[in-house]
Structure 1
Amino acid sequence: MKKMIIAGLALFLIISTACSHNSNAETSSQIDKENNKRIEYAQGDFTYEAIPETFALKVTKDGTTETIAEPQKKRTVTNLKKTATETSWDYPDDQLHITIKKEAKSLAVSIHSTNPKTSHFEWPRVDAPNYTLPISEGKQIPKNDSAWKKYFSTDGEQTMNEYFSMKFFTLNKEKFAVSYVMPDTYNNDILFQTDPGIQFSINHTFSSVNKEKDYKYQIFITDNNPVAIAKNYQNYIKDHHQFTTLAEKEKQNPEIKKLYGAPHAYLWNSRVLTEADVHWNKLQTSINNPMFDWMGTLLDKYGEDGSAEYRTVLDNIKNGEMYQYEKNMILNAFQYTLQMPQLYNPDIFKNPDVTAKKYIDKGIKNLNEQELYDLNKHLIGSHIQGLTTPINDWGQSNSTAIIKEMEQAGIKNAWIGLPNWVNGLMNPLSVDAAAAAGYLVGPYDSYQSIQQDASIDWNTASFPDPTLYEEATVENEQGDKLTGFLGKGRKLNPTLVFNAVKTRVDGILAEGIGFNSWFMDVDAAGELHDDFAKAHPTTQKEDAAARMKRLDYLNKKGLVIGSEGGNDYAASHIAFAHGLETPVIKWDDPDMRENEDSPYFVGKYGSMDGKAPTRYSKIVPIKDEYKPIYTSPVYSIPLFKLVYNRSVITTHHWEWDSYKIKNQSGERRLKEYLYNTPPLFHLDEDTWKLHQDDISANMKNWTPFQQEALKHEMTNFQTLDSDRLVQKTEFGSKLQVIANFSNKNFSLEKNSVPAHTALIINDGKITKISTDNLN
């Protein structure tokens, strides 16, 4: 495709508008050839030795012997067989059969259980000077690093499905790397030990619900660098037909190209009736309108917190008090009651307007969700005419106005996420405005939890089928139901709720709302369960397949799909993911999650004023001990991008947007360019005004950079100084990013890279990314 040269941009796409169609085709062909060039990284010229009694495993290459699986307690061994290329034996006491086979490029290990009951087997236990692990985007961890030792001493057990973004782990031995690659990570826990240095083992559960009793590894020897490790894994998944490029996904859904060069922004239009929409000077004289008392009755019957506080506010307004507290309480009451199917009361709304009457005649029980909200808006709007702006103006100041200003700022592509589908159905004009701007726009959705009496604020945990709570929820082996998010409700079994997914999604889309994207919570985050319920036993593999089925259902509707995490079992089913680059930081630290007086408190989920909750908008520091674990470039490596740069666009978790961490926004921006990670923001009127100039200026560089970077494989990653604070990535053969995270200027050949700066070098042309104005 021919690229326009955009005047004034520091970064140019080096494709001349004078080039002929044939030249462009040759360029595209050359890129495809470069991307599809296969290099073999696996080195098969090694021998192995297995010690069956302890299941120790050694390999020898070029005269160097390394133990790659540490010896364990001695076990009774029977049925031992050895050939030149294969060793097998039984552990009769554990009901296990072991097979190790030397193949051309790898060592295949198979552990088969004959025990029908749930059992566990811990292997391998590994020890190395350094580890290359797909923790989120990727980490390289020295065995004796004090920060990681402290972390693993308190978080010593991790579920591999959730903790690793890809299906391998690597030991960095002195002269070569050893990668354990798995067909899947189901039923694996990682057990870390820290004394004297970091070691870990994998504890596999042979679950009684799972009839497939095989636990397998393919062990590869490669050069000892992240590129060889990651690219060898990429070869493995390609060989197993588990790699789908964005270009291939785009053939099925052309809307995906709107992601290329787009920032990701959650837009908090949480109220359809905003402060700007109410004529507050008229409210005191209108407060005796019986509708306000009726709203109190509805809040008593159906509201989670009742109406006591609301009725106090009504009295305050009658007495002439009209402060921000009173305004917020009234607006929140409107937002609640506008969502209630019980709002229509013929004794209150005696003269509905034409639109409302049309819906009433249709029958309120027959209305879809968007029609219900439109009915309620017209009931209230016509009943208190003159107290508010016209209905079509409701909610536009905190949604459509921001979108139009983004357009005017020159932002061509953007992904806009709504915290809930209600925000779109109540305000379809804002969705239309985003789509008309050429943006992707879609709601957050979740099927993780179900509650018996979910509040309006937690509608993702509410389902019309009352049988799901008892008949479609997950049980552990003891027969206990697993609790839902934040300890409320229960966990849903995804194999049993596909019809509920279709009902919800089809209901949301019934009136043609302009959503062209969809964000599905946790489906790519690895939170998978064995369900031991006798009525519906389910394996983790079946759990994952059911999640992919619903993602594919959304894909077939032409929606651009994203999910939390981005773990690679979902890579072929999603276009983008939130949470891989910056995951949730230390979920169980009370200073961050509970102690509101702590400087590290991340904020609350709820928002009294309708703006972005402080959970997402409050800028906070993180403790020094967490920086090496979550944010420091010293330990970070772009493992996932070296594998999936052309397949999945990944960015931060929504709790940790690009501005969230105090004094790290500049460092994180450098990393966004280095790793091809889109910026992620939370926007309301206040945050847009605060960050508007910075976002707009950054997009002038970000958009053309990512559009070019996504055409190519990430082909290289290097650290350029001994402190690992100057790093370089390469995309294809002509695009490079050099990021200097240090406090010192750095010189590389003819280029000077100032401190806290990145250089983008595209076919010799240089763009400087400065972070001087960021905290």
Structure 2
Amino acid sequence: MVFRGFARTAMGLLAGGCFFCSVAMAVPAGSNPSLDATAIRVDAGGVHYTIDRQTLAVDILTSAGEKIVLSVPAFTGVEAKNFVTTEGGVQWTLGAGGSGTSSSLKSGQLQIRVNPVGDELEVAFSPQDAQSSVTWPVQPLNVSGGKTLLWPRGEGNAIPLDDAQWRDFLRAERWDTLESLSMPLWGLASAEGVLSCVVQTQFRNRIEFAETREGEGLTLSFTHEFRPSEERWLTFRFQFEPGRDASLIRPALNYRAWLKESGEFRTLEQKAVESPAIRLLAGAPHVYLWGGGSLTRFDLTRGAANKLAARLVQQVASAEASPGKHLHKYFTKDEWAATTELAGSTYQLPYAQAAICAALSRGVESADFYDPAAWINAELTTATRGLLSESLQGSALVQRNCRLLQEAFPDILPPVEKWGGSFSAAMLDAFSSAGLNRLRLGLDGSDGLVQAGKADFVRDAVARGYLLGPYDSYHSIHDPATSGTDASWPTAQFDAALYETGGIMNADGTMRKGFKQRGYLLSPLAARPYVERRVRANFDAAPYNYYFFDCDGFGQVYDDYSTAHRATCMADAAARVDRMAWVARTFGVAVGTEGGSAYAVPSVALFEGVFAENFGWGDTDMSEKASPYYVGRYYPPEAPDVFFKPVPAKEKYVRENYDPRYRVPLWEAAFHDAAVSGHHWSAASMKFENVETTVTLTELLYQVPPMYHLNPEVFAKQKAKIMKHVKAWAPAHEVSAFLPLTEFVVLSEDKRVQRTRFGDRLEVTVNYSAEDFAEAEGDELVPAGGAVMVLDGERLVVR
């Protein structure tokens, strides 16, 4: 990957091994670098760069006469030699100094190539030793002058360098350009302008921050590890855009341009040619459905569950054969206790309703559900009787059993067509009647929809223009002996052969542990045949038009030393991307994944977790019940607190993830028309109550879909709030999804009024403050806590 903006790909200090590094610098068209005994001078777009030939210290002199340090000396005890002037650039070699000299290059050599590319300076390195590292640039970040670090963490942070808390945050983290940062770039904004730094590759980079010896700020050090058989040149591009009005998204715009130049950029329009369902992402809020099944408490009218419980208890107590007596075997001890309680109560008792429906659903999904003796007195329809002689499996079997259950209690249970809770036509009708014309519907990670025999629900949703698909994961593999226990989950279960041979191996021969330290991380190379079998089975079960892969876009890629499937981290990433591309290409569906790392963007349509990350891992305040920040239990199944219960976010996480003063839409600037970004499902739009308004406004500003966790009951309660937002957001996103983010401007000194532009069709101005805002005297106001959207000349005020 190449980045053209905030130079985050600086490389330098060569550590260990025999190194040959070549650096290339770019000079503007029509000019040549000038060389003297100590330095190389390059002019790029009216900005003058002075590069020390031996230490690779770089100073920038702007057109206004301001001096900016791009890198302090990164090499010592070296000799610069073998200078060659190429067309528009210079190439030379750094080698160890004379005898008795201590060299940071050790005994190696480093080729350096410098040449101007338009108004950017390109610097490239190549080591003689294929397994070595280079640290450069070593960039001082002075706290004076109101400087801001533009940092591609998720969507992007704008980090004030005079803020001690933010400096501590930068120093405390281990930064790489795969997992912790979404793109290989960074930038530095000041009163003088914006310095953009972009690196060509995402792989094997790390960035470290340290306090300067003078205590006046931080030093950013960029290190790249070289490996045999991988790219031998490390390339950076730097650009300085002068002036107070320089774009804060310039690094991302430069990265986008470099990707286009390299042929690594694909728009949603281009992806939709082979996967037409992608077009349905435009204007589609993201919804996770809960409380779906064969029969759910949402399917029963008030009092019906009590009546059903009473009938079951009565039949079980009777000596005669009956449906109820037969069904008793599907109840756990706790479920039957809840049923007995419900039978003697006039209250609804939702937990008891859920218990009885869970047991009955387990029954209808079983092959031994029908017992002729139990149904001997039931008045079955001719259609149902006709199904008794057929050999049925899967969805057809479940549907027959549902008919048997309904016809056993026809005065209590509604028609089978109305069953399913969130997996019902009634749920889809509720969405449609509310005005939700497009939705991306996600499932909870289980295969409950197929088990419940709800393939028709999928067909219905797709026919209405909704995207619907399963969650799937090939991140971890567990011991088959743990299948069906709390120590495992369905997507981590394969067979014994893959468990024994498919794990990713460390260099020391140990296996990489899986998620939550369970099992192993699964090699994407070894997994591929299993991926294709499972995916095909999922599409055979239901006609999905969407598919979600957990983790594959998150940046968690690895060197694998197993002799059965040896791979570099680059090959690992390529295999993960290829399986997602295979699904999109083979089935013509929209494919989504977790994360938003740039390597996956050319092949994936949707990324969950870019806009709002999953944060707080290991924070006991979020996991202990007594804390006000406790996110909640994974219970009840139809509305787990962890997703449904609103709680406040800690101030630390508000600053890092939501406060608009510290956000900048770098990811959208690079990729808005290439992929749709979204929330992580643990941080949906209404999860954190103290930032809900901020989230809603930023969804408008960045044109990012809202995400909701819903079941029939919750949607009925939240419909008015949801629809108020969606009616403003959706028409704009139907247009903006296919447009680039071209401009981001901070309009107020307190940074609480911001504006974005998408192509030449949409402008969004958001006011996060508590006071109305006018850009100039006489202008129309942007309301406090509101927005103004102008789509194709039509103005909409959102309050």
TM-score, normalised by the number of residues in structure 1:
0.82
Mapped to 2, the partners of 1:335 and 1:693 lie a distance apart of 32
343-352 vs 542-551, which moves further:
343-352
Q: Counterpart in 2 of 1:619? A: 646
Q: Counterpart in 1 of 2:239? A: 221
Check 1:436–1:489 CA distance in 2 against 1; reply closer, same or farther (3 A cut): same
**Superposition deviation, residue 228 in structure 1:** 2.9
Select 2:295's aligned residue among 273, 283, 300.
273
Q: Counterpart in 1 of 2:92? A: 87
Write out per-residue CA displacement over residues 22-56 of structure 1, whole angstroms, 9 at most, x where no aligned residue: xxxxxxxxxxxxxxxxxxx9837533314545x54
Mapped to 1, the partners of 2:460 and 2:498 lie a distance apart of 37
Select 1:125's aligned residue among 138, 148, 152.
138
392-401 vs 538-547, which moves further:
392-401
Q: Counterpart in 2 of 1:411? A: 436
Mapped to 2, the partners of 1:578 and 1:333 lie a distance apart of 34
Q: Counterpart in 2 of 1:171? A: 188
Check 1:398–1:599 CA distance in 2 against 1; reply closer, same or farther (3 A cut): farther
**Superposition deviation, residue 314 in structure 1:** 7.5
Mapped to 2, the partners of 1:435 and 1:478 lie a distance apart of 49
Contact 1:442 1:519 in 2 (8 A): yes
**Superposition deviation, residue 515 in structure 1:** 1.2
Mapped to 2, the partners of 1:189 and 1:247 lie a distance apart of 34
Select 1:715's aligned residue among 733, 742, 765.
742
After TM superposition, the structure 1 = structure 2 runs for residues 233-632 of structure 1, keeping only pairs within 5 Å, are 233-275=255-297, 276-277=299-300, 279-287=308-316, 291=326, 294-295=329-330, 309=334, 324-334=350-360, 355=387, 358-359=390-391, 370=395, 389-396=414-421, 399-420=424-445, 422-425=447-450, 426=452, 427-452=454-479, 453-455=482-484, 459-511=489-541, 513-556=542-585, 557-592=587-622, 594-604=623-633, 606-608=634-636, 610-632=637-659
Contact 2:310 2:344 in 1 (8 A): no
SS in 1 for 2:459: helix
Mapped to 2, the partners of 1:648 and 1:639 lie a distance apart of 13
Mapped to 2, the partners of 1:359 and 1:194 lie a distance apart of 73
**Superposition deviation, residue 203 in structure 1:** 3.8
Mapped to 2, the partners of 1:486 and 1:507 lie a distance apart of 28
**Superposition deviation, residue 199 in structure 1:** 3.5
SS in 2 for 1:746: coil
Mapped to 1, the partners of 2:716 and 2:775 lie a distance apart of 38
Q: Counterpart in 1 of 2:123? A: 108
641-650 vs 317-326, which moves further:
317-326
Task: Say if 2:684 is the partner of 1:654.
Answer: no
Paired residue type of 2:728: N
Mapped to 2, the partners of 1:347 and 1:199 lie a distance apart of 79
Structure with larger Rg: 2
Contact 2:253 2:670 in 1 (8 A): yes
Check 1:431–1:57 CA distance in 2 against 1; reply closer, same or farther (3 A cut): same
Mapped to 2, the partners of 1:696 and 1:346 lie a distance apart of 47
Mapped to 1, the partners of 2:220 and 2:401 lie a distance apart of 58
Write out per-residue CA displacement over residues 132-167 of structure 1, whole angstroms, 9 at most, x where no aligned residue: 1211111121222233124335x4213321122222
Contact 2:474 2:492 in 1 (8 A): no
Check 1:320–1:284 CA distance in 2 against 1; reply closer, same or farther (3 A cut): farther
Paired residue type of 1:358: E
**Superposition deviation, residue 758 in structure 1:** 0.5
**Superposition deviation, residue 104 in structure 1:** 2.4
Q: Counterpart in 2 of 1:31? A: none
Contact 1:740 1:746 in 2 (8 A): yes
Select 1:99's aligned residue among 111, 114, 138.
111
Mapped to 2, the partners of 1:316 and 1:94 lie a distance apart of 79
**Superposition deviation, residue 503 in structure 1:** 0.8
**Superposition deviation, residue 683 in structure 1:** 0.9
Q: Counterpart in 2 of 1:48? A: 50
Mapped to 2, the partners of 1:219 and 1:688 lie a distance apart of 49
Mapped to 2, the partners of 1:320 and 1:676 lie a distance apart of 49
SS in 2 for 1:258: helix
Write out per-residue CA displacement over residues 173-205 of structure 1, whole angstroms, 9 at most, x where no aligned residue: 664544332232122233233564343333434
Task: Say if 2:197 is the partner of 1:185.
Answer: no
Contact 2:207 2:222 in 1 (8 A): yes
Check 1:649–1:602 CA distance in 2 against 1; reply closer, same or farther (3 A cut): same
After TM superposition, the structure 1 = structure 2 runs for residues 40-79 of structure 1, keeping only pairs within 5 Å, are 43=45, 45-50=47-52, 52=54, 56-62=57-63, 64-72=66-74, 75-77=76-78
Paired residue type of 2:72: E
Write out per-residue CA displacement over residues 569-623 of structure 1, whole angstroms, 9 at most, x where no aligned residue: 111212222111111122221111x21221111122x333x32311111111111
Mapped to 2, the partners of 1:518 and 1:51 lie a distance apart of 52
TM-score, normalised by the number of residues in structure 2:
0.80
Paired residue type of 1:81: N
Paired residue type of 2:555: G
Write out per-residue CA displacement over residues 407-436 of structure 1, whole angstroms, 9 at most, x where no aligned residue: 112221111111236233222232233222
Contact 1:69 1:125 in 2 (8 A): yes
Count of matched residue positions in the alignment of Structure 1 and Structure 2? 701
Check 1:391–1:402 CA distance in 2 against 1; reply closer, same or farther (3 A cut): closer
SS in 1 for 2:166: helix
Structure 2 unaligned segments of length 5 or more: list them: 1-42, 97-102, 142-146, 318-323, 377-383
Check 1:113–1:385 CA distance in 2 against 1; reply closer, same or farther (3 A cut): farther
**Superposition deviation, residue 493 in structure 1:** 0.8
SS in 1 for 2:430: helix
Check 1:662–1:315 CA distance in 2 against 1; reply closer, same or farther (3 A cut): closer
Task: Say if 2:161 is the partner of 1:151.
Answer: no
**Superposition deviation, residue 548 in structure 1:** 1.3
Paired residue type of 1:254: P
Check 1:124–1:383 CA distance in 2 against 1; reply closer, same or farther (3 A cut): farther
Contact 2:336 2:356 in 1 (8 A): no
Mapped to 1, the partners of 2:595 and 2:627 lie a distance apart of 28
Mapped to 1, the partners of 2:311 and 2:110 lie a distance apart of 80
Mapped to 2, the partners of 1:682 and 1:688 lie a distance apart of 9
564-573 vs 629-638, which moves further:
564-573
Task: Say if 2:129 is the partner of 1:135.
Answer: no
Check 1:100–1:225 CA distance in 2 against 1; reply closer, same or farther (3 A cut): farther
Structure 1 unaligned segments of length 5 or more: list them: 1-40, 297-306, 361-366, 771-775
550-559 vs 309-318, which moves further:
309-318
Paired residue type of 1:47: Y
Paired residue type of 1:180: C
Contact 1:42 1:222 in 2 (8 A): no
706-715 vs 307-316, which moves further:
307-316
Check 1:646–1:110 CA distance in 2 against 1; reply closer, same or farther (3 A cut): same
Question: How many percent identity over aligned positions?
Answer: 26
Contact 1:263 1:679 in 2 (8 A): yes
Check 1:103–1:142 CA distance in 2 against 1; reply closer, same or farther (3 A cut): same
Write out per-residue CA displacement over residues 639-682 of structure 1, whole angstroms, 9 at most, x where no aligned residue: 12222221111121111111111132222111111111111111
Mapped to 2, the partners of 1:44 and 1:234 lie a distance apart of 22
Contact 1:584 1:653 in 2 (8 A): yes
380-389 vs 538-547, which moves further:
380-389
**Superposition deviation, residue 378 in structure 1:** 7.0
**Superposition deviation, residue 501 in structure 1:** 1.0
